[in-house]
Amino acid sequence: MEDAEHNENALAAGASRSVGEHGSRLSDLEQPASLTEEQQRKLADAQAILGYTFTHQQLLLSAITHPSATEGRSVKYSYERLEFLGDSILGAIVSTIAFDRFTELDEGGLTRIKVALVSGSSLSSVAEKLGFADVIVFGSSETGTGKRGLHSALENVYEAVVAALYLDGGLDVAIDFVESTLVPRMSISMAREPENPKSALQEKLQEDGITPTYKLVETQGPPHDRTFVAQVFAGSQGLARGTGRTKKEAESQAAKSTLARLGEFFGLGMDKQAKAEKAEAAKLAKAEKAEAAKLAKAEKAAAKAEMKARKKSEQDRLWPLK
């Protein structure tokens, strides 16, 4: 445990140094020059929720700003870039806490806890309870839509806020936020009974020595209203696809679809009897296909011979031998 504490302290020290190095990068993120009344109100409300006052308030403003509100402006003014960074920081924080808390769990159990805790449904639920739904700045294109992307926006804003806190105050500030809002949900039951389809699929496929991977195969819609399509792969074999408002949601749906259709993919996850039945069915189908191909070939040859004979008969009629 002393080694774990030493490593965490070293990580914190390194993070503190890196935050100092962010100074030049944050030079253009000082107090925003001019804010709308809505931005001012939501910025103040967000800081009240967090119990933290930002030195670089543009970081927080970007973290709570939906891409639909920054059309035509630099991507740094919405939460998209911060979400990317926050996802990695959040993963590291959750992994470290789970590692220290559950000392008897193996890699699989720790992974299931992490995946369940940082899932889209988990983050959006926490963000909603914190009141983030009331502080997100949406653009006019979202007006009248019932905030159709609210679920994914809440998830993205939570991750973006983690990154903003890290950049503005350092790793300790980000850890405090995650520990007080997300970590209370962490429990050993997450390791025993995976609630996330990706964890369930990984466990199922690993019984056959297969580790699933995920690839983003398509992105649809404008930047502020995107839909992602992800596909599960077992080695080089593509399995089911899934769609979602976020990449995580798309991957989760792909995993869920794959779980429901394991029997269609090489008998993955099936018992020996089911595999034998599937193999026999495949064998019969192959034989039937071969027989059908043979019959079609014979019919084609017969038709060709008949056509040839008819042509010869027609020629003999038109040009009889003398």
Q: Are residues 134 and 13 in the same domain?
A: yes
Q: Are residues 285 and 142 in the same domain?
A: no
Amino acid at 184: P
Amino acid at 270: M
User: In this structure, is the dihedral angle defined by the CA atoms of residues 79, 83, 89 and 90, taken in order, positive or negative?
Assistant: positive
Q: Is 7 annotated as a binding residue?
A: no
User: Which of the listed residues 192, 211, 229 is the one where a domain comes to its end?
Assistant: 192
Residue 159 a catalytic site member: yes
Burial of 97 (0-12, 13-18, 19+ CB in 10 A): buried
Q: Are residues 178 and 107 in the same domain?
A: yes
Mean pLDDT of 183-196: 81
The active-site residue out of 80, 87, 142, 155 is: 87
Count of structural domains within the chain: 3
Q: Are residues 37 and 131 in the same domain?
A: yes
Q: Is 159 annotated as a binding residue?
A: yes
Q: Is 71 annotated as a binding residue?
A: no
The active-site residue out of 142, 155, 159, 168 is: 159
* Cα Rg of the chain (Å, integer): 29
Contacts of 123 (CB under 8 A, 6+ apart): 154, 155, 158, 159, 182
Find the domain containing 313 and state its range. Answer: 271-322
- Identify the CATH number of the domain in which residue 255 sits: 3.30.160.20
User: Which of the listed residues 192, 222, 244 is the one where a domain comes to its end?
Assistant: 192
> Where does the pLDDT of residue 152 fall: very low under 50, low under 70, confident under 90, or very high at 90 and above?
confident
- The alpha carbon of residue 106 and the mean position of all alpha carbons in its chain are separated, in whole angstroms, by 24
- Identify the CATH number of the domain in which residue 94 sits: 1.10.1520.10
Instruction: Evaluate whether 112 touches 190 at the Cβ level (below 8 Å).
Output: yes
Amino acid at 85: L
| Mean model confidence pLDDT for the chain | 81
Q: Are residues 176 and 247 in the same domain?
A: no
Q: Are residues 160 and 249 in the same domain?
A: no
Q: Are residues 284 and 319 in the same domain?
A: yes
Q: Are residues 66 and 215 in the same domain?
A: no
Tens-digit pLDDT profile for residues 49-69: 999 999 999 999 999 999 988
Angle formed by the axes of helices 197-206 and 107-117, nearest 10°: 160
Q: Are residues 122 and 58 in the same domain?
A: yes
Q: Are residues 28 and 79 in the same domain?
A: yes
Amino acid at 235: G
Residue 314 a catalytic site member: no
Most confident of 5-9, 166-170, 280-284: 166-170
Tens-digit pLDDT profile for residues 112-128: 899 889 988 889 899 99
Give this prediction's pTM: 0.59
Task: Give the model's pLDDT for residue 148.
Answer: 56
CA-based nearest residue to 8, from 117, 95, 88: 95
Tens-digit pLDDT profile for residues 278-289: 566 667 777 777
Q: Are residues 212 and 301 in the same domain?
A: no
Strand partners, 216: 230
Q: Are residues 186 and 254 in the same domain?
A: no
User: Which of the listed residues 264, 279, 311 is the one where a domain comes to its end?
Assistant: 264
Amino acid at 242: G
Task: Give the model's pLDDT for residue 59.
Answer: 95
